[in-house]
Structure 1
């Protein structure tokens, strides 16, 4: 989708900016390319710089409950230092690299309810205008897709996905938020857990997979949360039986009986991919709530991409246009 905006800081007669992203979904750690199209106004203007800002809609928990805000997580200067003559057109191509921890917004072309955007900032003759936001679509890395497919084939159902502001302890998390993908348990584990939350923290060499189980209480015990972390390499994607790997992760998570607050320790995954660490924790005691109402069902052939509950794609686009506008005061991130 293309957005155009008259630079409000310059008033009537100012230049317009029109950012067009390359078609298709990007990937975490991958390339994002496109063009920033400028059209001159009624006079000549000096373009100081053109900056692209990555923004995300994230949820934060605090004493008064939960709130949502726009969080900046990347800035790239892609042009500037030229004069835009009146009524002329100028196009600036760009190619930038997304952070490895960039959340995924879609799976098999179906949106998951995560709202990301690319905001174009134009500095003209000392005045800045942030313009509008283009929706940013991000698909999974091959190993992320393999893990999610395995969950689907094992009978887990996708419920929601959201972004949580904060950090997960004992990890190398870089962004100010993390993504949680919430799953309904398969029949095999329904007696033991209410839901599973999956978080991917990717790096150039691999990624941490953090699993959190909301465990059911027994007759003489109360339910509690259990977390564990597994580290895998990107090139493991073609080396593993991911159904067996994920099932092994789940068995280890469900069977884990350590007391709350135990310190983390590393160990091998007993035949699973990579290393694992028990009891990673969310700094600030964060617990996620429902996302945007997206429900993705699991199918026998992997992840069924039927979306229950309405026009999710349209809702995501509306969120980009409506939510980020006027949320500058809630932003954090890179300068």
Structure 2
């Protein structure tokens, strides 16, 4: 991107800032690197600090319905404490660690519709201003990819993905939101499930996998949601199709009991421990009632990504998803500019 964002709080003639990320998708818990490019204004300026923020578009439920907005989920100071000369060009390299729970935005280069961005804040002579929001791409960890591959091979199809404000009770969740990947049921489970929802909560020691089923009702029973949770180490290998199918079977056969699996075993390197319960007992009060998303921008994923039976839904294509990501960031920037202007005399 070009140097298109003038630091408005410094007035005409102030420095400009642009952040360029290194090519390729980052990984949860991995490194994010790039360069912050500065261009001096019409005078010397003292750069107090340069801060990089990670921003996500998150959906929230409340009494009046649903809304969405930007949430800053990490901040890093990557430079500062120097004077930027008049008209000087300077690049500040950075390398920071992403949170382990960073949501996955793409599979094999195809966007899921999750909107993440990197925004740079420059503090100059006591004044602060934010630069452009640049899209951030995050791919799956190997164990996440293996689980998604297994679901695809079992016949589950991608429907949508979004970020939900709130916490999943009983988990080690750290971020103020969690990612839901919504899947259509495999043929062998179509009579039992309306939808399967998947959440990954990664950490240094491994991965928590939260599965929620929207279960169909029977002749004498009503449909309801059921939740189960499993843990998997990062170095797990083996027959993923059998493992994941076992998870699904436990979920659909749930009868309201509290189940516990053996800890990591000797014969099964990815055997985890977990529990399942009705959804009402699975999420804490920070989230409120469960949100059901309709088809959104996450429904546009090219066929074959991660083995899931996905395709173009609702007339969208991947390029349009990218356009919507850019539009969201531009709207966020405009809102901030308006807010700053309203506060001026």
Same fold (TM > 0.5)? yes
Higher relative contact order (CA 8 A, sep 6+): 1
Which of 322, 326, 331 is equivalent to 2:335? 326
Counterpart contact for 1:217–1:224, Cα < 8 Å: yes
Counterpart contact for 1:108–1:305, Cα < 8 Å: no
TM-fit CA distance, 1:68: 0.3
Which of 284, 288, 295 is equivalent to 2:292? 288
Counterpart contact for 1:49–1:79, Cα < 8 Å: yes
Describe the SS at the equivalent of 1:266. coil
The reply on whether 1:255 has 2:253 as its aligned counterpart is yes
The 1:23/1:305 distance shift into structure 2, 3 A limit, reads farther
Which of 8-17 and 290-299 deviates more?
A: 290-299
Q: What are the Cα deviations for residues 11-50 of structure 1, in whole angstroms up to 9, with x where unaligned?
A: 1100000110000000000000000000000001000000
The 1:2/1:138 distance shift into structure 2, 3 A limit, reads farther
Which of 305, 309, 314 is equivalent to 2:323? 314
Counterpart contact for 1:70–1:328, Cα < 8 Å: no
Describe the SS at the equivalent of 2:131. coil
Describe the SS at the equivalent of 2:174. coil
Which of 193-202 and 239-248 deviates more?
A: 239-248
The 1:7/1:288 distance shift into structure 2, 3 A limit, reads same
> Which structure shows the higher helix fraction?
2
Matches of 2:173 and 2:23, distance apart in 1: 29
Describe the SS at the equivalent of 2:163. strand
Residues 196-207 of structure 1 aligned to structure 2 (within 5 Å): 196-207=196-207
Residue of structure 1 equivalent to 2:276 = 278
Matches of 1:233 and 1:88, distance apart in 2: 49
TM-fit CA distance, 1:287: 2.0
Matches of 1:307 and 1:92, distance apart in 2: 40
Which of 300-309 and 18-27 deviates more?
A: 300-309
Counterpart contact for 1:227–1:278, Cα < 8 Å: yes
Residue of structure 1 equivalent to 2:102 = 102
> Which structure shows the higher strand fraction?
1
Residue of structure 2 equivalent to 1:213 = 213
TM-fit CA distance, 1:277: 1.2
Which of 95-104 and 309-318 deviates more?
A: 309-318
Q: What are the Cα deviations for residues 154-211 of structure 1, in whole angstroms up to 9, with x where unaligned?
A: 1100000000000000001000000000000010001001000000000011010000
Residue of structure 1 equivalent to 2:308 = 303
Which of 260, 274, 287 is equivalent to 1:266? 260
Q: What are the Cα deviations for residues 38-73 of structure 1, in whole angstroms up to 9, with x where unaligned?
A: 000000100000000111000000111110011110
How many residues were matched structurally?
324
Describe the SS at the equivalent of 1:130. strand
Matches of 2:234 and 2:202, distance apart in 1: 9
TM-fit CA distance, 1:130: 1.1
Counterpart contact for 2:156–2:309, Cα < 8 Å: no
**Which consecutive residues of structure 1, in runs of 5 or more, have no partner in the other structure?**
331-335
Residue of structure 1 equivalent to 2:189 = 189
Residue of structure 1 equivalent to 2:119 = 119
The 1:185/1:158 distance shift into structure 2, 3 A limit, reads same
Counterpart contact for 2:156–2:308, Cα < 8 Å: no
Matches of 2:100 and 2:112, distance apart in 1: 19
Counterpart contact for 1:2–1:19, Cα < 8 Å: no
Counterpart contact for 2:60–2:68, Cα < 8 Å: yes
CA RMSD of the aligned region, Å?
2.3
